[in-house]
Structure 1
Amino acid sequence: MTSSNDKLKETTVSTEHIFTGKVISLQVDTVHLPDGSEGKREIVKHPGAVAVLAVHNGRLLLVDQYRQALGRCELEIPAGKLEQGEDPLEAARRELEEETGYRCSKLSLLHSFYTSPGFADEIIHLYLAEDLTPGEPSPDEDEFLEIIEASFEEAQQYMAEGRISDAKTILAVYIWQQRLARAAASQEV
C-alpha cells in the first residue's frame, strides 16, 4: 500500500538494528522529514499474524490465555504469528486447529489490518472459518490456554468487563454482530 500524499513522505537516511528476537526486531531509522529536517523513528518489525473468527453452533470460539505483557489472562479469538514464508490462509487453518482443535472446510479472508502503524509493521489477516468440525487442540509446547465458547451476548459482556480488550477480538465480535444483523434482516424479507 502506498500513500497518495507524497508531500508527507519521509525518506530513510539510515537504519540502526537494535534487537532481534524470536518474535520481533527493533530498529531506529533516521529519516528526512517533509520540512527538510531529520527525525528518528523507532520501529518494531513483526512477521505478521493471522486471527480466526470461528462460530460453532452460534457460539464464538475463544481462547483464554495468560498474556505476560498485560500481566493477566485475556480472552481472544484463535491467532498466531506467521512463520517465515508461510501462506496466511494456511497459518489461519493451522492456528484454529492447534488452539481449538476445530477444523473448517471453508476459510475466507475478512480483512487485513495494521495493529499499531505509528511504531510497528505488524499486519493481522483476519479470516472467517465456516463449516467447523470439532477435534483435539494441540497448542505449542509453551502455550497454555483454555477454550471458551461464548454466545454473542456473552462476548459483549466480556468486552464490557474488559476480559476481551484486544483489537483483533473486538473487531471480530463487531463483524460477527454485522453478520448476525444481516442474517436476521434476510429472514424478515
Structure 2
Amino acid sequence: MSTQYPIVEVFESIQGEGTFLGLGASFIRLAGCNLRCPWCDTKHSFDVQAASLLSVDAILGTWRFTQPLVVITGGEPTLHDLGPLVRELKKLGKFVTLETNGTNPVPNEWGIDWVTVSPKPGSNYAINCRADELKYVVDDDFEIGVIQTERVPLQRIYLQVESGRPESASRAFTLVTMNPDLHLRVGVQLHKVLHVE
C-alpha cells in the first residue's frame, strides 16, 4: 500500500522567511500538529479529517511544481513518513526543505536538503532533530536564554516578528542589537509584506 498524505493545500509563492527569503517556492502543507500555539497562523492545518488524503502519485499528478525549491510544512509534517514524497520530488530535481517545530526526528533516509526548526514554548523549546536554521517567534514571553546557538552555524538564527505586531518587532530588534555576540537576525514574513500567499 502506498503512503498517503493529508494535504491541506499546495501552492506556489515565494519563501517568505529565513535563509531562502524571496526565492520562488512550491509549498506542500500537511495536516496535523502535536502542538497548539496561540499565535499560530495556520490553525486550519490542525484537522487531519478535513484534509485530502492523497498518494505521492496523486500529489505529483495534480500539481505542477515549477519552482526549484519545495517547502514541506504544516501543521507538523514530521508526524508523517516523508521519505516516499521527498524521493519523488528529488527525482524531479527539487531542493526539498522542511519546516518543523523540532519535536520529532528527521530521519536522514528521508533525504531532506534543509531543515528549518521553529522551536515552540509548548515543547519547552526542545529540538529533537537536525537543524539547518532556527526561527524563534518573539511573543511577549520570549526569553533570549532559550536560544540554542550551538545547534546551527552563526547567522542562521532568526527572531521572528509575531504576526506583524509592532511590539514584537521592537522586541526582536532590541534583542538582536543588544546581543551582537549571538549573531541573531530579525525575521520577517516577506509574503505578508507583499500581500501574497
Query: If the TM-score is normalised by the length of the shorter chain, which range does it land in?
Result: under 0.3
How does the TM-score come out when normalised to structure 2? Answer: 0.23
User: Could you state the TM-score of these two structures normalised by the residue count of structure 1?
Assistant: 0.23
Higher strand share: 1
